Structure 1
Amino acid sequence: MDSRDKHVHLWKSFSFAIAGIKTALWSERNMRIHFFVSLIAIGFSIFFSISKWEWLFVIVAIGGIFSLEMVNTAIERVVDLVTEDYHPLAKQAKDLAAGAVFIYAITAVVIGTIIFLPYFFRWLI
């Protein structure tokens, strides 16, 4: 494979990734909720002029929840592809993936609270 073929392959893989992101945003309600909440967090970050360190935590929280939600969706789709019948292991796989998203979402809320609550109090006073 020459270097031009490698670049074409790289861009093609990026296009697959972008297609996956679009699919998640258009087809998954929770992904749209996370997206909306992330826009609010970014808006507050700009409004309050948070520090670079605080921005890093906000970005990691947003990127993490998007990534985990997409992994959860992928697991759900694969399980549904493998079996339409109820199976306890299929349920566990879906529940575990959903639980991972839930834990991270709680973590993101805690991060947001730690960062933004002091700014809100200073803004109100």
Structure 2
Amino acid sequence: MNQRKGMARIIAATGYSYKGFKAAWKHEEAFRQEVILLLVMAPLAFWIGDSFTEQVILLASVVLVVIVELLNSAIEAITDRVSTDYHKLSGRAKDMGSAAVFLALFLMILVWGIKLYQLLV
């Protein structure tokens, strides 16, 4: 077994990550939508955040959505790799992944909603 170490491992991991981003962009509409959301909201986070901490929290809430979407897409891909036939465990795994994305989106809306409320009051 060829175990890469040091810088070679980091370079290989970067390549795998690139392939993951590329696959998600090509095959997952939700991922594309959330990346576009990130690209729009990132500058807004720096504009409306009153401190570095607020800016980081606003930005992190959007990045978290993208991270969870990648994990959900990975769960869906591996589940479909095993079988595209319906199975209750496969359905459960996909539903749990979807619930995780829902919670990440809820958190983002909550964080941004609180900040926007503060700006308006």
Q: TM-score, normalised by structure 1?
A: 0.83
State the Cα deviation string for residues 1-55 of structure 1 (Å, max 9, x = none): xxx9521221111111122122212321111111122222223223335321111
2:22 matched residue in structure 1: 22
Contact 2:46 2:55 (C-alpha < 8 Å) held by counterparts: no
Secondary structure of the 2:85 match is: coil
Q: Which runs of 5+ in 1 are unaligned?
A: none
Q: Distance in 1 between matches of 2:36 and 2:118?
A: 22
2:70 matched residue in structure 1: 70
CA 1:48/1:56 → structure 2, altered by over 3 Å: closer, same or farther?
closer
Relative contact order higher in (CA < 8 Å, ≥ 6 apart): 1
Q: TM-score, normalised by structure 2?
A: 0.85
Higher Cα Rg, which structure: 1
Q: Which runs of 5+ in 2 are unaligned?
A: none
Identity of aligned residues (%): 23
CA 1:79/1:49 → structure 2, altered by over 3 Å: closer, same or farther?
closer
**What's the Cα RMSD here?**
1.9
Q: Is residue 12 from structure 1 mapped to residue 12 from structure 2 by the alignment?
A: yes
